[in-house]
Structure 1
């Protein structure tokens, strides 16, 4: 006898979308059988034509607690994640105080999150000037790798690495390094302006191209793994393709906003669209989609990076003064599904990009798939239903999003985390470490 059986005519498995009955005992999936197979279970639910997806894995989330909890906190961020079908997040090391740049800071962050998390949570460490000697101990403590900036991060306590400092960090510890790749020599100070075009001009594509070349050179010289975060500039794709062909261990991700939003359609003063690197034009997005379908871009993650409405400078609409970051952890699945279906992609593609591949990036073999032995992280998703985004109905702390008012396809009706239904009332998430 198993604890739970979920039946659906559209179960997204590694073998494709099939009718199936998914049996769960404890925290794990123990069988994926025929849709109408008899199973003795404590609870059985027939979802009919609603799709059953594996819980999404978002490896790029800024929670900001402790220290900047007014921007976002673990309770609100993880409740939003679960409502959006995300059952695993990996928290970025900056914007919290202290940043996660040594083992003591990791303990402080875990203590702040304890008892508050509604999904499973892992942590990235941070590589900053002067902390290379602390990276091995932090890696041994279970962080999934190290985040590094090659340009100003926006917060003074997390300064960028030079090319030489990045090379030193990679030589110090055999770990995955995830890199914010913009080259400061190609960035320009943005003048005070409500015009998005002025902000975009201050962060040209060449800044990404140059920084990605730096990261690739470090990976080539060291033999270490380097992952390019939130790729925005499609012109850098040939650099990545050539490096991979040479055997360099480099991968890249992109985000929903780079795939679905268009610089030419951003209104003046709409600072909720500001992020770094910036949203570029529709032709650029088309190239990112092709690279995603070809596997050159590994995965799609949120880069959920919220702040207070005041820091977004919605009062003035000044892009230069506004904080750069987009809050989207709850909306990534419907945003991507809405665009993907219009381009002829299916649910299996979206699950590959947003569940399996991010799990593989982090080495989480039991996450991001509906298969025997995997964690019973499951999402009931109606791909045909629609809704209009109301920021005040989202669960992240501050009601700011560039998707406000957009009609999206795909509604999450229920989420299970390791076999238990996530309701938002009880914080049942667990901490994950690299050994998991």
Structure 2
């Protein structure tokens, strides 16, 4: 038990990533929260034996917040599950995630389905987990009860979702959902592709698949979302932005003060269409698709300019059988919970960005999206003591057998990445992915 005036844990590092930048500091923890951020050599205590840690030059980051994760339990737990997904998250420095409402059965589109999802997760999560609700045709009456039940917002699709139980919204259905969610003060998160601009992927190779989901499909859908935000007053967020053509309408919307934000994903920032090695390399398949290197460069500029506010994984796994075949038939999703941080850091530092930028994109930005600023996503007094020891100079080669998500399928297999997560703490206690789960189920603040 901590002595009066003392701390449960003190961590010192020459590279603590704070909201104001990176500097040497000491972080003191009491009762699961950050009690103080002091100068590196400041005397702090008393602390229990062994509870004062000096990381040396290993960086101390805030725990990452990933607001775009498909866990798929219950109903499709053979694709993933709460235990395996949250182990992978912890191994990748993610201490908070928000689960998407689809690919589980039932989808999280009613209060009853939310209760089923919570029951499936309870006692099985190694990191903190919240839930998105879903907006689908006919469920406007369920939106207010879901909001009251603590979901962080509502996901909808403008095009086919890939699963029949979560259909897309027509334009009029989107207007009705946006109007209802605006009245709640809620958030709409949108998979934005215009179905009229999509086509069949042809011969099943990657060039044909890429051509079937052109940048204009994203841009047209984004422009529709902006118009609906203006008409209804809803807050909206564009998911997994792939096409740099969307940056212009998003920047214009933000300049006009419209509450529209956007995210992108590690695979759009670190991979390109040129990297796809074979016609059957379907580990690279995702929707919207990974595009050309010039597009990737523009996405980095969008991040640097603040048009894109966060980087999240869109971890969307399935069984290996569903990932086989060609680009016309394989499941579209990339599993990267465990690899997102080193993948982004490898590319970011090569482009001159620091750890403070990566923490802003992968911790503070997603926390702000979910309304968790002040509790998650930053190393600051009063926040949860969710922390990550990260060696920014260590390198490793991705071995799929070392991944903790359920199926070791990844386009990063064999890639050399820089940055190794050495440890992660959840509310001041180190996470043991092989130990008892200690994560909590979160509700919207």
Give 1:127-276 correspondences, 5 Å limit.
127-173=135-181, 174=184, 175-193=186-204, 195-268=205-278, 269-276=280-287
Match of 1:34 in 2: 39
Map 1:31-110 onto structure 2 (within 5 A): 31-40=36-45, 41-42=47-48, 43-110=51-118
Partners of 1:323 and 1:192 in 2: how far apart?
16
Q: Does 1:431 align with 2:441?
A: yes
Measure how far apart 1:245 and its partner are: 1.5
Structure 1 pair 192–70 and aligned structure 2 pair: CA distance change class (3 A): farther
- Give 3-state SS (helix, strand or coil) of 1:311's partner: helix
CA RMSD, 1 decimal: 0.7
Secondary structure, counterpart of 1:58 in structure 2: strand
Q: Distance in 2 between matches of 1:419 and 1:259?
A: 32
C-alpha displacement of 1:152:
0.1
1:124–1:144 Cα contact (<8 Å) kept? yes
Q: CA deviation at 1:192?
A: 4.2
1:399 aligns with 2:408: yes
The answer for unaligned runs of 5 or more in structure 1 is none
| Match among 299, 305, 324 for residue 288 of structure 1 | 299
Equivalent position of 2:12 in the other structure? 7
Q: Is the 8 A contact 1:196 1:267 kept in 2?
A: no
- Structure 1 SS opposite 2:177: helix
Q: 2 CA distance for matches of 1:292 and 1:130? A: 36
Contact kept in structure 2, 1:71 and 1:307, CA below 8 Å: yes
**Partners of 1:370 and 1:249 in 2: CA distance:** 26
Query: What displacement does 1:37 show?
Result: 0.9
**How far apart are residue 343 of structure 1 and its match?**
0.3
Residue pair 1:385, 1:410 contacting (<8 A) in 2 also: yes
Determine the C-alpha separation between the residues in 2 that align with 1:353 and 1:382. Answer: 18
CA contact (8 A) 1:74 1:117 kept: yes
Q: 1:320 and 2:328 equivalent?
A: yes
Structure 1 residue aligned with 2:379: 370
Structure 1 CA distance, aligned partners of 2:391 and 2:351? Answer: 18
Alignment coverage as a number of residue pairs: 431
Secondary structure of the residue aligned to 2:252 is helix
- Unpaired segments of 5 or more residues in structure 2? 1-5
**Residue 319 of structure 2: which of 284, 308, 314 is its match?**
308
The TM-score with structure 1 as length reference comes to 0.98
Distance 1:219 1:53 in 2: 34
The 10-residue stretch of structure 1 (93-102 or 215-224) with the greater mean CA deviation from structure 2: 215-224
Counterpart secondary structure, 1:287 = helix
CA distance in 2, matches of 1:210, 1:46: 51
2:320 is paired with a residue whose SS is coil
Aligned mates of 2:244, 2:90 — CA distance in 1: 31
CA distance in 1, matches of 2:298, 2:209: 22
- Could you list the per-position Cα deviations for residues 210-269 of structure 1 after superposition, in whole angstroms to 9, with x for gaps in the alignment? 111111111110111010000000011111111112221100000000111110221221
Measure the CA separation in 1 of the matches of 2:29 and 2:14.
17
Deviation of the 1:39 alpha carbon: 1.3
Partner Cα distance (2:352, 2:442) in 1: 35
Instruction: Output the TM-score relative to the length of structure 2.
Output: 0.96
The CA distance in 2 between the partners of 1:75 and 1:356, in whole Å, is 25
Structure 1 position 26, deviation (Å): 1.3
Residue in 1 aligned with 2:22?
A: 17
- 3-state SS of 1:108 partner: helix
1:100 deviates by 0.1
Task: Provide the rounded CA distance (Å) in 2 between the counterparts of 1:134 and 1:34.
Answer: 50
Asked if 1:412 corresponds to 2:421, the answer is yes
Runs of 4+ deviating beyond 6 Å: none
